[in-house]
């Protein structure tokens, strides 16, 4: 069996469907369906079972998780960068991750997990070193703390471990994320509703809409996960997963407008509540990822947005 936590969420559900495409359906999806709207992400997926994450964690802690487990893809987390309930965030993102990691280490189960580029905060250096870690929100801190925990434990762990610092992921099955969904999704809806993509005015030394992020298509993220699944002998560690190139929000808006064949850009004032808590620039340093032999290619925004929005019509 393969376990996918967060399997009804954005990246997790895409991973489940990719495993199905390989003919794999012996999958346990672990998630929190308190927001039942996420069910649509796995409604057509082939899975063996579903379990609420708290029940799953309890079974791990009681030593009741039996059977042969081929791998754990730990994609589940609270990904809301505006969440400030520290007890909740650390319980879901840190303690759950720690317990699952230790279970996999003890049972020699490959453990592939989601981290985040939020660990880098507002910095402009994106190599996977502790010196570059400076989170500016609680979500980023929870991911940083777990990455550091994994780093400390790696010398004593013999089973495969790979953590992925996802940059700005976009693509199908993110509709449930609300304000945390990608700008490509929001721009698409804005063009459909009003014909206008609303972008932030200049901030952080960048011009209107020229703030730059490393936007990475979800299929490419899934491909990296599966590459490490296929190559369990690769070096254990924490790796950046992004396209390796920054593109502006204007680029995303133009790609959305090009797809629809209509629309225009409108700049709105930068929100006061995001001052000091906003990444104006990200760009994945892929050197460490490439050193493992991982040769997954990454789509440009122009190609990825066209594929994404095309899929919404299916």
Please report the DSSP string for 93-147 in residue order: IIIHHHHHHHHHHHHT--EEEEEEGGGGTT-S--SSSGGG----SHHHHHHHHHH
Write down the pLDDT at residue 146: 98
CATH 3.40.50.720 fits 2-169+216-244+285-298, yes or no: yes
Write down the pLDDT at residue 285: 98
Residue 74 burial (10 A CB sphere; 0-12, 13-18, 19+) = buried
Domain ranges of the chain: 2-169+216-244+285-298, 175-212+246-280+305-311
CB 69, CB 109: distance < 8 Å: yes
Separation CA 23–CA 20 (nearest Å): 5
Catalytic machinery residues: 139, 177
Write down the pLDDT at residue 278: 82
DSSP codes of every residue in 37-62: GGGGGTTT---SEEEEHHHHHHHHHT
Separation CA 136–CA 47 (nearest Å): 37
Write down the pLDDT at residue 233: 79
Single out the residue of 278, 146, 268, 292 nearest to residue 205, CA to CA: 278
Q: CA dist 82 to 79, 85, 90, 159, Å?
A: 9, 9, 14, 35
Write down the pLDDT at residue 14: 98
Write down the pLDDT at residue 227: 98
Q: Which CATH number fits domain 175-212+246-280+305-311: 2.40.50.1020, 3.90.25.10, 3.40.50.11810, 3.30.310.50?
A: 3.90.25.10
Write down the pLDDT at residue 237: 97
pLDDT tens, position by position, for the chain (314 residues)?
A: 999 999 999 999 999 999 999 999 999 999 999 989 999 999 999 999 999 999 999 999 998 888 899 999 999 999 888 899 999 999 999 999 999 999 999 999 999 999 999 999 988 899 999 999 999 999 999 999 999 999 999 999 999 999 999 999 999 999 999 999 999 999 999 999 999 999 999 888 899 999 999 999 999 999 999 999 999 978 899 999 999 999 999 999 999 999 999 999 999 999 987 777 788 899 999 999 999 999 999 999 999 999 999 999 74
* Dihedral sign computed on CA atoms, order 162, 166, 171, 175: positive
Write down the pLDDT at residue 250: 98
CB half-sphere exposure, 301, CA atoms < 13 A: 24
DSSP conformation class of 162: E
Write down the pLDDT at residue 53: 96
Neighbours of 183 (CB within 10 A): 21
């Amino acid at each position: 069996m393969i376990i996918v936590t967060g399997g009804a969420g954005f990246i997790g559900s895409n991973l489940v469907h990719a495993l199905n495409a390989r003919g794999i359906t012996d999958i346990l999806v672990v998630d929190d369906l308190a927001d039942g709207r996420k069910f649509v992400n796995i409604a057509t997926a082939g899975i063996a079972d579903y379990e609420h994450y708290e029940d799953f964690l309890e079974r791990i802690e009681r030593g009741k998780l039996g059977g042969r487990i081929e791998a754990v893809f730990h994609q589940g987390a609270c990904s809301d960068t505006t969440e400030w309930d520290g007890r909740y965030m650390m319980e879901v993102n840190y303690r759950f991750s720690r317990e699952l990691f230790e279970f996999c280490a003890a049972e020699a189960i490959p453990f592939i997990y989601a981290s985040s580029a939020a660990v880098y905060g507002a910095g402009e250096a994106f190599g996977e070193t502790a010196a570059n870690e400076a989170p500016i929100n609680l979500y980023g801190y929870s991911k940083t703390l777990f990455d550091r925990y994994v780093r400390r434990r790696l010398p004593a762990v013999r089973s495969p471990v790979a953590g992925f610092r996802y940059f700005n992921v976009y693509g199908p099955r993110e509709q449930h994320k609300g304000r945390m969904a990608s700008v490509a999704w929001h721009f698409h809806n804005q063009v459909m509703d009003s014909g206008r993509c609303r972008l932030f005015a200049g901030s952080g030394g960048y011009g209107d809409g020229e703030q730059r992020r490393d936007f990475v298509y979800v299929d490419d993220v899934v491909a990296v996960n599966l590459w490490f699944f296929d190559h369990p002998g690769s070096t254990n560690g924490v790796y950046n997963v992004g396209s390796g190139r920054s593109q502006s929000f204007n680029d995303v808006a133009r790609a959305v407008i090009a797809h629809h064949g209509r629309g225009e850009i409108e700049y709105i004032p930068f929100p006061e509540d995001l001052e000091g808590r906003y990444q104006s620039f990200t760009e994945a340093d892929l050197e460490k990822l490439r050193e493992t032999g991982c040769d997954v290619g990454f789509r440009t925004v122009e190609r990825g947005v066209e594929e994404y929005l095309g899929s919404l019509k299916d």
